[in-house]
């Protein structure tokens, strides 16, 4: 009897062990495959719908636009061979490159370019912001021989960058791109696998990586362990705290990131609607301490809503408008009528360690001027609906990604913009943004952006804290990784040394 029992349980044991063997066999590695860690699932594997910057990083390798961006942030014609812009900036003519194939073998034609644009211009299509903004200004699209001609309703704030939208070919509810890699499979919650497209029109410029697995690992700790064990080859957006853990076979690449973290202030909530109160808060914040404590020094101070990485428009003067000054802070608070301070609630999104940590430091800093901050850590889903959508909060800490077009970054703070979670309302600001959207001269536009930053900071729309650095942990045998000044992970540059 006992023997039977033992046999039963040993077989249970083996069953489990065998089952796991099957799992590992599925992961047999073909030549030149690397694993890149990402933190969450892509939202839509469709460049016209995709919202998250992280999704865009993957899609950059699969779908291409008429214009592409390079590692210096410069724009160059990709699917377009060349282009002309009319004097009044209302007509863009693109000569379409020949010999470009979509993944399913169909050849790219001007007609298909037009079709791809018309796909998201349809009202019933859930188009993302970039596509939507194009929709607002598009008047007509015509095909003429090997050219596609876009007529715009008014001048375009983003300039040629608007044409970075990916070109897709749709058939039977599947979409195909022209990029150097294609999406091979997607296992929700686990991974996205892309493989090299061997008929890519510019194949000679692509490195030797045949397949890339984007492994979804939410938790930083597990990601580091996977990296140490060789299961992951690249971790980008590594948290500074893990730098010493990457091991001898790997190197770190650092750069700036187009991401701004802010202490978001609800401008409609009492007593935060009082400018003096907001100014007092700004004076009491020591950004350096936050960078040290929450980002371990790996970040740059920001003065306003844009990251310093956007060199062309970044207004460095804004950094000095409110230098750390406890005395001034206390004075202003008194002037505003709160000599004894008051209580505030800070709703921090619990899934972002850097924001949670920053909140705790801010709490201690504001305590010094008599403001008691109660931190409520809430999880992401609740944060999105309570804080972001319903704007039911006083303070929160969040980061906003910068877009290739700075206009999209700044338009958030216009009074009527649906993303204006801080309830900032300033007529001059609205006016300036409106001017930018119709401005043709690049120089004038830059001036206007700098003005906009000044208004945001002077009026303490919120306290803009830091732009955390972009840190990549990568195995030493992978060459070619370049950091882009925007959310791009360019796989075509990579080469695996044997």
Partner 1 sequence: MFLIKKIISSFLTLFLVSLISFTVLKVIPGDPLLSKLGTEATEQQIETLNKELGLDKPKYLAYVDWISDVSKGDMGESIRFSVPVNNLIKKRMGVTMNLALLSMGITILIGFPLGLFSAMINKKRGSDIISTINMIGVSIPSFWSGLILMMIFGVYFKVSFKGVSLFLPALTLALSRISITSIYLKNIILEELNKDYVKAAVAKGRNKNNVIVTDVLKNIMLPMITIISGLFVKILAGSVIIESLFNLPGLGNLMVLAVENRDFPVVQALVLYSSIIVISVNLFTDLLYCYVDPRIKIS
Partner 2 sequence: MKKIKKNLLIGVGFFVILIIVIIITKLFSPYEVTQINISNKLTSPSVHHFFGTDKFGRDIFTRIMEGGKIALYVGVLSIFIGLLVGCSLGMYSGYMGGRIDEFIMRIIDAFMSFPGILLALMMITAFGAGTANTIIVIGIINIPHFTRLSRGETLKEKDKNYTLSAITRGAGTFWIIKNYIFPNIRGKIIIATTLSFGVSILTEASLSYLGLGVQAPYPSWGSMLRESQIYFISSPWYALFPGVFITLTIYSSNLLGEYFREKYNSKG
Q: Which positions touch partner 1 (CB under 8 A)?
A: 1-2, 5, 9-10, 12-17, 19-24, 41, 43-44, 49, 51-53, 123-129, 132, 187-190, 217-219, 222, 225-226, 228-229, 351, 379-382, 384-386, 388-389, 398, 400-401, 418-419, 421
Binding mask 240-279 for partner 2 (x = CB under 8 A): -xx-xx----------------------------------
Say if residues 180 and 61 touch (Cβ distance below 8 Å).
yes
Show contacts with partner 2 in window 356-395 (CB under 8 A): 356-357, 359-361, 363-364, 375-379, 381-382
Report DSSP letters for 102-159, one per residue: -TTSPBP-HHHHHHHHHHHHSTTS---HHHHHHHHHEEEEEEETTEEEEEESS--TTG
- Span interacting with partner 2, options 41-49, 335-343, 345-353, 465-473, rule CB under 8 A: 345-353
Q: Is 341 a binder of partner 2 (CB under 8 A)?
A: no
- Span interacting with partner 2, options 87-95, 104-112, 139-147, 343-351, rule CB under 8 A: 343-351
Shortest distance (Å) from residue 240 CB to partner 2: 11
Q: Which does 19 bind (CB under 5 to 8 A by kind): partner 1, partner 2, none?
A: partner 1
Q: Is 348 a binder of partner 2 (CB under 8 A)?
A: yes
What's the angle, vertex CA 27, arms to CA 24 and CA 28, rounded to 5? 105
Q: Is 220 a binder of partner 2 (CB under 8 A)?
A: yes
Phi, psi of 312 (to 5 degrees): -60, -40
Q: Is 146 a binder of partner 2 (CB under 8 A)?
A: no
Indicate the residue among 174 and 368 with the shorter CB distance to partner 2.
Answer: 368
Residue whose structure tokens are 């160059």: 76
Indicate the residue among 10 and 323 with the shorter CB distance to partner 1.
Answer: 10
- Span interacting with partner 2, options 170-178, 216-224, 404-412, 456-464, rule CB under 8 A: 216-224
Provide the pairing of β-strand 147-152 with 91-96.
antiparallel
Shortest distance (Å) from residue 419 CB to partner 1: 7
Distance CA 192, CA 194 (A): 7
Q: Is 351 a binder of partner 2 (CB under 8 A)?
A: yes
Phi, psi of 203 (to 5 degrees): -60, -25
Indicate the residue among 124 and 204 with the shorter CB distance to partner 1.
Answer: 124
Distance CA 493, CA 474 (A): 14
Q: Which does 14 bind (CB under 5 to 8 A by kind): partner 2, partner 1, none?
A: partner 1
Indicate the residue among 229 and 248 with the shorter CB distance to partner 1.
Answer: 229
Indicate the residue among 132 and 440 with the shorter CB distance to partner 1.
Answer: 132
Q: Write out the two tokens for 265.
A: 């202030």
Q: Which does 356 bind (CB under 5 to 8 A by kind): partner 2, partner 1, none?
A: partner 2
Say if residues 383 and 346 touch (Cβ distance below 8 Å).
no
Distance CA 112, CA 89 (A): 24
Say if residues 324 and 287 touch (Cβ distance below 8 Å).
yes
- Number of helices (H) and strands (E) in the chain: give both, helices first: 13, 23
Alpha-carbon dihedral sign for residues 69, 74, 77, 83: positive
Q: Which does 293 bind (CB under 5 to 8 A by kind): partner 2, partner 1, none?
A: partner 2
3-state secondary structure 199-262: CCCCHHHCCCCCEEEEEECCCHHHHHHHHHCCCCCEEECCCHHHHHHCCCCEEEEEECCCEEEE
Q: Is 295 a binder of partner 2 (CB under 8 A)?
A: no
Residue whose structure tokens are 């948290």: 239
Distance CA 259, CA 467 (A): 6
Shortest distance (Å) from residue 200 CB to partner 1: 27
Q: Which does 360 bind (CB under 5 to 8 A by kind): partner 2, partner 1, none?
A: partner 2
- Measured from the Cβ of residue 106, the count of other Cβ atoms closer than 10 Å reads 14
Q: Write out the two tokens for 107.
A: 């050849």
Among 292, 401, 417, 447, binds partner 2 (CB under 8 A): 292
Indicate the residue among 84 and 419 with the shorter CB distance to partner 1.
Answer: 419
Q: Which residues bind partner 2 (CB under 8 A)?
A: 220-221, 224, 239, 241-242, 244-245, 289, 292-293, 348, 350-351, 356-357, 359-361, 363-364, 375-379, 381-382
């Amino acid at each position: 009897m006992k023997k039977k029992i033992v046999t039963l349980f040993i077989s249970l044991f083996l069953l489990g062990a065998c089952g796991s063997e099957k799992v590992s066999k599925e992961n047999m590695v073909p030549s030149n495959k690397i694993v890149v860690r990402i933190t969450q699932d892509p939202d839509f594997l469709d460049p016209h719908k995709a919202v998250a910057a992280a999704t865009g990083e993957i899609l950059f390798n699969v779908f291409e636009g008429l214009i592409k961006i390079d590692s210096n942030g410069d724009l160059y014609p990709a699917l377009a061979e060349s282009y002309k812009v009319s004097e009044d900036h209302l007509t863009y003519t693109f000569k379409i490159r020949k010999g470009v194939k979509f993944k399913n073998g169909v050849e790219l034609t001007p007609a298909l370019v037009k079709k791809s644009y018309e796909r998201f211009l349809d009202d019933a299509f859930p188009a993302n912001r970039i596509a939507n903004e194009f929709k607002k200004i598009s008047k007509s699209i015509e095909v003429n021989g090997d050219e596609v001609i876009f007529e715009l309703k008014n001048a375009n704030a983003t300039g040629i960058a608007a044409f970075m939208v990916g070109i897709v070919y749709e058939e039977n509810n599947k979409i195909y791109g022209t990029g150097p890699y294609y999406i091979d499979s997607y296992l929700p919650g686990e991974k996205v696998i892309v493989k090299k497209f061997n008929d890519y029109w510019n194949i000679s410029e692509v490195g030797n990586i045949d397949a890339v697995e984007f492994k979804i690992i939410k938790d930083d700790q597990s990601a580091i362990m996977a990296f140490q064990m060789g299961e992951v080859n690249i971790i980008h957006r590594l948290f500074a705290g893990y730098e010493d853990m990457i091991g001898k076979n790997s190197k770190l690449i650092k750069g700036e990131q187009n991401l701004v973290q802010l202490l978001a202030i609800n401008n409609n909530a009492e007593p935060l609607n009082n400018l003096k109160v907001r100014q007092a808060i700004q004076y009491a914040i020591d950004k350096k301490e936050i960078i040290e404590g929450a980002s371990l020094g790996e970040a740059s101070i920001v003065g306003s809503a844009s990251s310093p990485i956007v060199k062309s428009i970044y207004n460095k003067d804004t950094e000095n408008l409110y230098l750390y000054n406890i005395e001034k802070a206390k004075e202003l608070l008194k002037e505003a009528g709160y000599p004894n301070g008051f209580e505030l609630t800070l709703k921090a999104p619990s899934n972002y360690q850097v924001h949670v940590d920053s909140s705790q430091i801010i709490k201690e800093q504001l305590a010094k001027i008599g403001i008691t901050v109660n931190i409520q850590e809430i999880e992401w889903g609740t944060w999105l609906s309570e804080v972001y959508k319903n704007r039911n909060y006083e303070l929160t800490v969040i980061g906003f990604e910068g877009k290739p077009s700075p206009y999209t970054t700044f338009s958030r703070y216009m009074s009527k913009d649906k993303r204006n979670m801080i309830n900032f309302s300033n007529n001059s600001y609205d006016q300036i943004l409106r001017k930018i959207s119709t401005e043709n001269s690049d120089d004038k536009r830059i001036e206007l952006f700098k003005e906009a930053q000044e208004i945001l900071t002077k009026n303490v729309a919120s306290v803009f804290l830091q732009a955390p650095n972009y840190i990549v942990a990568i195995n030493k045998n992978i060459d070619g990784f370049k950091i882009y000044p925007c959310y791009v992970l360019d796989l075509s540059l990579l080469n695996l040394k044997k």
